[in-house]
Amino acid sequence: MTVGRLQLYPTFGAALGYDDNITLSNDRPISSRYLLLEPGVRAELSGRRSRLRAQYRLSEGEFASSDRDDFTDQFFDLDWRYQQNVRSEWQLAARWHEAHDRRGEALRENFAETLDRDVDEYRDRGLGVTHRYGAAGARGRLAVFADLTDRRYLNNRDFTLEGDFEQTRIGGEFSWRTGARTTALIQASRADIDYDVNTRDSVQRQLAVGLQWDGSPRSDARVLVGRLERSAPSVEQADFRGVFWEAAATWRPLDRSELTILTSRATDEAFGGASFLVRERHSLGWRHQWRSRLSSSFDLSWADEDLRPNRRSDDIQQVGLSVDYTFRRWMLVGLGWRHVERNSSSSRFDYRRNEVLLSMQLSL
């Protein structure tokens, strides 16, 4: 849809689902059917040197057997790119998200005394700028970035107050083309995380080297390995120094088939008495186009999460399968199933969850 120089792409999604463990509980699972509605629109404006993209999406979920879990989320994202010249490009990205944490996760992980509350709602705002220097075919290219994240919870303030934080992050990546298909990478970053009302502040530094492979239309890969240090000013919190990595590889053995392998090791925020967690995650995905209108996806992942310093360890396995059928150019219908299982060193954090989803996506 065109309005002057503006391109508009409206979308509408609807889904009927069934979840047999909404609150991720070990001993008191709540099951329910639910309805999910997601209208949205994307707008694009392009000029000779610049491109502006704005996107808005509303996500509303209603549970038949548990209105405590109903939610209304909103997502607004803005991306502006400016090509200053053949070597220099600027990118500005901003977001305003009003979303939620489901009962049983994040600040309310396995806390039965808070299950009679509504879901935890929060506002997440972000602003980032990136500058890339180097022409598209240049042997060496440099990218530097800086971004700010601000998260504020909006309800249940007697216990969500401790989740409010700000994060500032700066970093850069230098790439050097070493061959026709390979590129060497050096990456460095620093993140400062400041919480409002507790002593969980931390500083995280990363330095990594890597390799990117653009082998052919049938394969590509990217690997980064380096040193990660996470330090906290409070003596009550734990520090971490160790190896981190992130790697992704894609293989297309057939024109209609694609295999993806991902693996990573990094730290993340944690609650429930922990300072942070160290997560090692691996996943395998397969997508196949059986016919021009019919496709399927399969994914399998497993993760180890070590919460520091309280020494709790979780093993999480996920498996999912979905089938999509394109009835019309503007209408996609899908049927999916997902199983998640967590086994913890503290058995009260164990859970199993199954979800079935029938979805429809409309777009112009």
Q: Which two tokens stand for residue 329?
A: 């150019």
What's the half-sphere exposure (Cβ side, CA atoms, 13 Å) at 288? 7
Q: Is 348 helix (H, G, I), strand (E, B) or coil?
A: helix
Residue 228 has pLDDT above 90, yes or no: yes
- Interacting residues of 24 by C-beta distance below 8 A, sequence separation 6+: 102, 104, 105, 109, 110, 342, 351, 353
Query: Structurally, how many domains does the chain consist of?
Result: 1
87-96, 259-268, 341-350: segment of lowest average pLDDT: 341-350
Amino acid (one-letter) located at 322: S
Provide the CATH number for the domain around residue 319: 2.40.160.100
Residue 158 binned pLDDT confidence (cut-offs 50, 70, 90): confident
Q: Is 161 helix (H, G, I), strand (E, B) or coil?
A: helix
Q: What is the average per-residue pLDDT within 73-81?
A: 98
Number of other CB atoms surrounding residue 121 within 10 Å: 18
Residue 114 has pLDDT above 70, yes or no: no
Handedness of CA 94, 98, 101, 102 (dihedral sign): negative
Q: Which residue(s) pair with 275 in the sheet? A: none
Residue 354 binned pLDDT confidence (cut-offs 50, 70, 90): very high
Residue 232 binned pLDDT confidence (cut-offs 50, 70, 90): confident
Domain that holds residue 129: 2-363
Residue 348 binned pLDDT confidence (cut-offs 50, 70, 90): confident
249-276 residue pLDDT tens: 999 999 899 999 999 999 998 877 778 8
Residue 109 has pLDDT above 90, yes or no: no
- Interacting residues of 157 by C-beta distance below 8 A, sequence separation 6+: none
Q: Is 163 helix (H, G, I), strand (E, B) or coil?
A: helix
Residue 292 binned pLDDT confidence (cut-offs 50, 70, 90): very high
Q: How far is CA 248 from the centre of its chain?
A: 15
24-33, 85-94, 117-126, 332-341: segment of lowest average pLDDT: 24-33
Residue 52 binned pLDDT confidence (cut-offs 50, 70, 90): very high
The contacts found for 224-233 with CB under 8 angstroms, 24 or more apart, are 224/185, 224/187, 226/187, 228/204, 228/266, 228/267, 229/204, 229/205, 230/202, 230/203, 230/204, 230/205, 230/267, 230/276, 231/202, 231/203, 232/199, 232/200, 232/201, 232/202, 232/203, 232/275, 233/201
**H/E run at residue 158:** helix 157-160
Residue 172 has pLDDT above 70, yes or no: yes
pTM to 2 decimal places: 0.91
